[in-house]
Amino acid sequence: MRFDLGAYHDRGMEMTRKTHLETTRAHALEAAEDIGRNPMASPTMGDVINARFARRRVLQGALAVSAISATLGPLALGASRPARAAAPSFGFAELAAGVDERHHVAPGYRAAIVVRWGDPLFADAPEFDPMNQTAAAQLRQFGYNNDFLGYFPLDGSSEHGLLGVNHEYTNEELMFPGVAAQITKEDPLAYATRELVDIEMAAHGGSVVEVVRENGQWRYVRDSPYNRRVTMAEGHTPMELTGPAAGHARMRTGADPEGRTVFGMLNNCAGGQTPWGTWLSAEENIHGYFTGALPEGHAETVAFERYGVPGDWYAWGKFHDRFDISKEPNEPNRFGWVVEIDPYDPQSTPKKRTALGRFKHECATPIVMADGRVALYMGDDERFEYIYKFVTSGRYDPDDRTANLTLLDEGELSVARFNPDGTMEWLPLVHGQGPLTEANGFASQADVVIGARIAADLLGATPMDRPEDVEPNPKTGRIYAMLTNNTRRKAEQVDAANPRADNAFGHIVEMTPPDGDHSAGTYTWEILVQCGDPSIADVGATFSSATTKDGWFGMPDNCAFDGEGRLWVSTDGNSDAGTGRSDGLWAMETEGEARGTSKHFFRCPVGAELCGPVFTADDRSLFLAVQHPSDDTDAWAAFGRLSTFEDPGTRWPDFQDGMPPRPSIVVVTKEDGGTIGS
């Protein structure tokens, strides 16, 4: 359905800038993500800008001036490349775009619920009772807001395995009865009690859940010996800090004077799966959990400002001293890492791999090179932040899993700079090289990884339009970066890799290493597609003309590749931005004449974001993570107000009176038992 983009911007995108004082606490979380703290986000590549302005002057005679021109900026008009029309290779019948209270999947497929927030994972876990929640119960139940999703086979099976699931954050106004009424302009955290905070902490983190397919139906296995909750609850999940920052003075606290053990992981968004069968869980918006103020002149003041600490999203610091930076100023340095977890061993200690750098990690996705070294790609999910790469020093040994478990502790971290000639450089973040010296505040590699953002600033990395998932295609070796949006990029800040000012819809960048060498310092790159409605010329969307009115999307977030190396893209922001369509999953052509063609496959219920698409090895099952259903429902004309526990826009997936919306894992299978997408 075509929509009024001018109205969309005036009403929809401003919604992402709201604060607690204007709506609810949930909206404040979105506003905090939209800040863009990078001081290096300044005009770049003037020659490219001038060239685009020249082309715009030619186009102005052919394009009508509309509200959209002001919304997206004049440079968007020159960003499009010729569309390549061709029949897509995906064989499924396309799903109609739209928005309602339910999920939908393409004709010929089934989408079933596997596990929901609150489902008991252990024999002694109570059944979910939304009116009588406790921290003790939540520690034994599936957590909230499931994001990254990994499938780890048991005995190599595509019908029996483990799900590794991130639980990113909590929506209290949807989780708890009576909370929404307590959120006020004067005190948006007035609802917070020690009891509710402890439930929030128990709902964060992750879950390992055994799943099995029997008689064509998937189910989770309650009380499996593999089932596990990883949480933020005090004393619940100790994690080992490894790599260059482990034991450093900036990592030490009163509770951990050695700086080597931290309890729990925070705001885990996307992640990755290693070839040796571990789950990489990426800590993202960690700043929001801290309150208080540093003493004047404290050594961490500049770094905390760069990382947005404190964010004051939650009231945890009122009841737990480690989240009050006036009491534990080093605690924030212990979050913002990639966490490695062994899903096959529920007694194992998760490891925070500090060699991979500290920032708002969206993902950590590996690929094995010909020489056995492993490259990992990572996005820093904030506007004007960077894309990173890590290459291990050691080599993957398929016959020695134990040896592989330390691979991520040694290697080279680098950050991307995109050049206007279609090349890109990987700039090493190595202590002592270039500006990364003690004179600039980097006394060791520990300082470099703890302050990776600041180090990347000094190296001149390219500030991107909110890098989220960054994944290598295992078939082609090309890497795809999902750039969700950046409505704060001004016309004078446009560059070749971020070609639209006020970028409301995002784009996808494709990077190609030379001869498949992921350790190379120079790659080539191009934009695969600029997102948005291609029927509105001023948007500058570059989908193939074979893409239908249902096939286009905005705000790419996560991605996955099926067994044929075909790209699937999930989105975050379409529903709450008033686009007339929910978030969901789209199949995207990357090869040949069909390149840039997108088809709609799965649709979320209203307000939900789609995360974690992952296929089983036989491509006959596709697991999807649907999180925060019923969030931001005031953009949905059929409901027109913000949802609460008592009055949600949808009660998905249970649709029972008194039952709140529940983030859930969905599995998609084909009705005829065939492969997904064929």
pLDDT at 116: 98
Three-state SS for 408? helix
pTM of the predicted model, to two decimals? 0.91
Contacts of 360 by beta carbon, 8 Å cutoff, 6+ apart: 283, 284, 285, 286, 287, 336, 380, 381, 382, 385
pLDDT for res 197? 98
CB 136 within 8 A of CB 237: no
> Closest by alpha carbon to 392, among 404, 380, 384?
404
H-helix or E-strand containing 302? helix 301-307
Q: What is the pLDDT of residue 576?
A: 65
Q: Where are the beta strands (DSSP E) in 350-432?
A: 351-353, 365-368, 373-379, 383-385, 387-395, 411-418, 423-428
Which stretches in the chain have pLDDT values below 50? Answer: 1-32, 43-87
Pairing of strands 556-561, 109-116: unpaired
Cα three-residue angle 332-344-337, rounded to 5 degrees: 15
Ramachandran class of 216: left when φ > 0, alpha when ψ lies in -120 to 50, beta otherwise: left
The residue extents of the domains of the chain are: 36-51+251-284+336-527, 82-231+545-678, 286-332
